[in-house]
Structure 1
C-alpha cells in the first residue's frame, strides 16, 4: 500500500480493530498490519503499554510472539458502540421512524462539582445531544437510560432533569427540520460522510481485486486486515460526531446513508474472505454480521 493510498489510522483503533472473537490479539499479525499501514513497531509498543496501563489489555509474552488479551472493562466499553451501529442501520432501512418527540436533559451542577458537570456535558454531546441553552440539551432519540446511568455514575443524578416534548420552539422556530439545522452542524457532518463514502468506494474496489486475484494468502490477509482497520477508522471519524438524527429531520439525499451502505458492502467482502480463512478474523466482522442479521430479520417480519 503506497503512502498516497493510506488513510490516517490512530494506533489505538488498529489495536482495538484486531481483537478477535475470543478477546485476544495476535501480536505478530498486529505488527504486520501496522507495517502495512505505515506505522512503526515503536508506535504499536507504546500504544499497547498505554492501553495496559489503562486496564484495557493484558500482555502475555514479548514482542511479536506475544498475545494480548482484552479485559472485561474494554469489552464493556465496546458494547454501546454496537448499539449505535445497529440503530444507524435500522434508520437507513426505515425501521426506526421518528415519533416526533424531542428528548431533553437539563442539569444544574454546582461549581464545586465542575469535573462531574463537564463529564456529563461531554456525555450528552457524545450521545448526540445539542445545547439548547445553558445546561439544557436536546436529542431526537431516546437516550434517558444512558444519560441517567452516567449521571448516577458521576454522582450528580439528583441534579438531572429529563423530559420529552413534541412542542419544541427555539427563538420562535418550531419546524423540526429547521430546528435540526439550527442545533447541529449538518453541513460539516455531511462532508464527513462524503469522505467516508469516498474511502469505502476505493477500498471496495481494492477488496474486489483481492477476491479475484491470486495473491499470496498471507499477504492478502494482511492487506485485507489493513483495509478493515482503515474502514473502521474512517467509519468512526464520520459517525462519532453524528447525532444519528432520524431521516425525517435530515436533508435528502443524506450522504450518511450512502456512506454506510458502501461500508456495509466492504464488510460483506471482508467477512466472506474471513469465512474462508483458517485463522479467525477481528470480532467486529462478527458484530457486523449480527447487526445486519437483526435488521434483515426485522425487515422480513414487517413484510410478512
Structure 2
C-alpha cells in the first residue's frame, strides 16, 4: 500500500509543468500591437528594469534577441538605439565588431528617479493639508513652472500649483507658498481639479483588464518559459510605468472612492514576483558584457515592491 502511495507521489512530482496558455499573454501583446511603434520606449523599460541592476551596459545582441521574441525587426531596434544614443540617453561602446550600449549620465539620473516612483511600496502619509504655490509674473516664472510640473505638482488654475507636503523645487523657492487646510471633501475637490485623476483611473482599469488573465493563469499553476517570462515582465513594467509616472501618488484621503491605483500596484507586484526568477534566468543566458561574460544578477531587484 505504502509502495503505491510512493509511486503516485513520484508521478505527481514528475508531472510536467503546465504551459502558459496563449490567452494569458494575448491581451498584453494585442495592446502592444494596437499602438504606434514604441520600440525606443520599451528599450528604456528594458534598461531601467533589467539592465541597470546588472551594471547598465549590455551587448546589442541581447536586445535584438529580446525584440525578436516580440516580433520586432532588427532594423527597427537598431534605429531606436541610435535615436536614444543621439538624444543622450545611451552611449555606444565597441569591443571588436560587437556593439554595447550603456546608460549615459542623462539616462542614469532619469532612471534613478523613475525607479523610486515605479517600485515604491505605497504613497506617503497625508500631512493633512495641501501646499499651494502662487507663481509671480517675472523672469523666473517659466523655470519655476517647469520645475513644479516636473516634480509632479498639480495645477488647479493658471499660475497655481499644489502638492501634499512635497519638497519645493529649488527653482520655485522664491515663489509665494501658502498652506491650504479643510475637510477631506474640499481637499479632494481641489486635488481633482489639479490632476487628471479620471484619465489616470481609466488607464489603471485598462492595465488591470490587460494583465488579469496572466495573473489568473499563473495562480492556476501555469509556468512561463524563460522567454515568456522576460517578455511579460518587461511589458508589465512598461505599461505600469507609463501610468504611474503620470500618477502623483496622492494619499488615499485625496483620492476618489474606489481608486484603482492600489489594485493595479498589488497586481503588478504579484506578477513581478511570479515572473522574476524565470526572467532572470533568461537574462543569465542572454545578457552579455563587454568581456563576453554574462552580466551578474543585481540584488536590488529582490527589494522591488517590498517595504
Cα RMSD after superposing both structures: 3.5
Per-residue CA deviation, residues 31-59 of structure 1 (Å, 9 max, x unaligned), is 12223333222221121112212232222
Change (3 A) 1:210 1:23: farther
Per-residue CA deviation, residues 210-244 of structure 1 (Å, 9 max, x unaligned), is 9636xxxxxx3333222222112211222122121
Change (3 A) 1:131 1:4: closer
Q: Within 5 Å, give how 1:1-304 maps onto structure 2.
A: 5-8=29-32, 10-19=38-47, 20=51, 21-61=54-94, 65-87=98-120, 89-91=121-123, 96-108=124-136, 110=138, 117-118=141-142, 120-144=144-168, 147-148=169-170, 151=171, 160-161=174-175, 163-167=177-181, 175-205=186-216, 212=223, 220-274=225-279, 278-279=284-285, 287-293=300-306, 295=307
Instruction: State whether residues 114 and 245 of structure 2, in contact with CA within 8 Å, keep that contact through their aligned partners in structure 1.
Output: no
Gap regions ≥5 residues in structure 2: 1-24, 288-294
Instruction: State whether residues 130 and 180 of structure 2, in contact with CA within 8 Å, keep that contact through their aligned partners in structure 1.
Output: yes
Instruction: State whether residues 130 and 162 of structure 2, in contact with CA within 8 Å, keep that contact through their aligned partners in structure 1.
Output: yes
Instruction: State whether residues 57 and 100 of structure 2, in contact with CA within 8 Å, keep that contact through their aligned partners in structure 1.
Output: yes
Instruction: State whether residues 31 and 41 of structure 1, in contact with CA within 8 Å, keep that contact through their aligned partners in structure 2.
Output: yes
Per-residue CA deviation, residues 110-154 of structure 1 (Å, 9 max, x unaligned), is 4xx5xx75564344234332223332211124132xx21xx2xxx
Provide the secondary structure at the position in 2 that maps to 1:66. Answer: strand
* Count of residues in Structure 1 that have an aligned counterpart in Structure 2: 266
1:47, 1:190 → 2: CA distance?
A: 30
Pick which of 173-182 and 201-210 moved more: 201-210
Shift of 1:103: 2.0
Provide the secondary structure at the position in 2 that maps to 1:48. Answer: helix
Shift of 1:257: 0.6
1:283, 1:105 → 2: CA distance?
A: 46
Provide the secondary structure at the position in 1 that maps to 2:128. Answer: coil
1:283, 1:201 → 2: CA distance?
A: 31
Shift of 1:6: 3.2
2:78, 2:218 → 1: CA distance?
A: 29
Gap regions ≥5 residues in structure 1: 152-156, 214-219, 296-304
Provide the secondary structure at the position in 1 that maps to 2:122. Answer: helix
TM-score, with length taken from structure 1: 0.73
2:185, 2:75 → 1: CA distance?
A: 54
Shift of 1:247: 0.5
Provide the secondary structure at the position in 2 that maps to 1:292. Answer: coil
Provide the secondary structure at the position in 1 that maps to 2:112. Answer: helix
1:242, 1:6 → 2: CA distance?
A: 24
Provide the secondary structure at the position in 2 that maps to 1:105. Answer: strand
